[in-house]
Structure formats: structure tokens, C-alpha cells
Copies of this chain bind each other. A is one copy, B any other.
Amino acid sequence: MLPQALINAIEALGHLPGVGARTAERYAYFLFKSSPRISQEISSVLGDLHTNVKSCPITFALIDSNEEVSSLYQDPQRDKSTILVVEEPLDIYAIEQTHQFQGTYHVLGGAISPIDGITLNELHVKELMQRITPDTVKEVIIATNPSVEGESTALMLQKMLHEQYPEVKVTRLARGLPLGVDLSYADQITLSAALENRTNL
């Protein structure tokens, strides 16, 4: 009933995460109605995505294919003795936008999840451990997501670091009230953490 090229576009766009049949239909129809320039732009940039982007072999941040290692890691201005550990490469981008962190990053590539068979072995933990001595690391800031998986990963990592490198300080991002959220809407755990970690005014 629908033209084959449109059905193909709907099916292809349906591969995107969280995109169901209705959303894929909307995207495909939007692209059909819009200037062909937009479809062409998407087509061409997606072709470059796998050839021009790779993972940094040390920090696992995303880098240009022609770079050796992440430019953030190579920057002599950045303090290599502090490593901030995140789950995914785009988390680096979120932290960098605060302009508050001068250390380097390490991307785990996910969080442990027994259901999906992801243990610390599947994450870039070994590579993190290998950075501790050469970079004379003094502090590891664990910035995994505040989810069950992220919290478990943080605990396992903390235990492992403590056993192998007891002199390294291990910290994690503070839990507390996010800006602009009404106190009465905050969940119990967040509110408990905010109370427990209260700061002097």
C-alpha cells in the first residue's frame, strides 16, 4: 500500500534506539516532504561515521581516525594524575561543558549488568588499571550513572582499586538535589543523600 522506497526508509530508521513504527513513519515522511538536501546530508555523514571515528586506545574516548590518542589526554595542560571514569564516550562531553574538570578521562564502555552478561571483564577496566602507575594517578573519580548498574560498577571498581592500589583516592560524584527540581518531587534516596551530605552555608 505504501511505496517500497518509503517502506524501506521506515524500516531502516526503525533501527534507531527507541524509534518505533510510528516515529519511523514520521521521520521518513518528514524527509520525503523536506528538501532532498536533508536526506542527502544524513546519507553522506552516516557513511563517514565508521571510517572517520575511532576509539582512543588509552582513554576509549571517541577520536578522529587520523588522531593517535585523545587530544584531551595528550594536552599537557590536563592533569594526568586525576582520572574521571565514565560509562560512555558522550559523558565526557557533558563533564567538559562544566569547564570544572582539568584531569583526564577513562571510558568504561558501559556498566556491569549480570542479565546481559556484562561483568568488569567486558568493560575497559584492565586498561584503567594499566594507567595508574605510568600516569602516577592520585585520584580516580567514578562518574558512572546513578542507576543500579552504574552504582554496582562504582562499588566493584572501588573495591578493585582499593585492593590493587590502596594509595589511590577513589571518589564519586555527589548525590543531591538537581537544580530546579521541587523538594516535594525529589525521590527518597536522592533526598536522603542530600540530607546526609549537606554542606555549610
Question: By CB atoms of chain B within 10 A, which of A9, A29, A46 has the most?
Answer: A46
The reply to whether the CB of A159 lies closer than 8 angstroms to some CB of chain B is: no
Residue A62 CB within 8 A of the other chain: yes
Whole-angstrom CA separation of A57 from B43 in the bound complex: 28
Q: Are B32 and A50 in contact (CB under 8 A)?
A: yes
Among candidates B29, B34, B47, B53, residue contacting A3 with C-beta atoms closer than 8 Å: B53
Task: Write the nearest CB–CB distance from A126 to chain B, whole angstroms.
Answer: 20
Decide: A39 and B47 in contact? CB cutoff 8 A. Answer: yes
Q: Judge whether B53 and A5 touch: CB under 8 Å.
A: yes
Closest 6 CB pairs of A and B: A5-B52, A39-B46, A43-B43, A36-B50, A8-B45, A3-B64
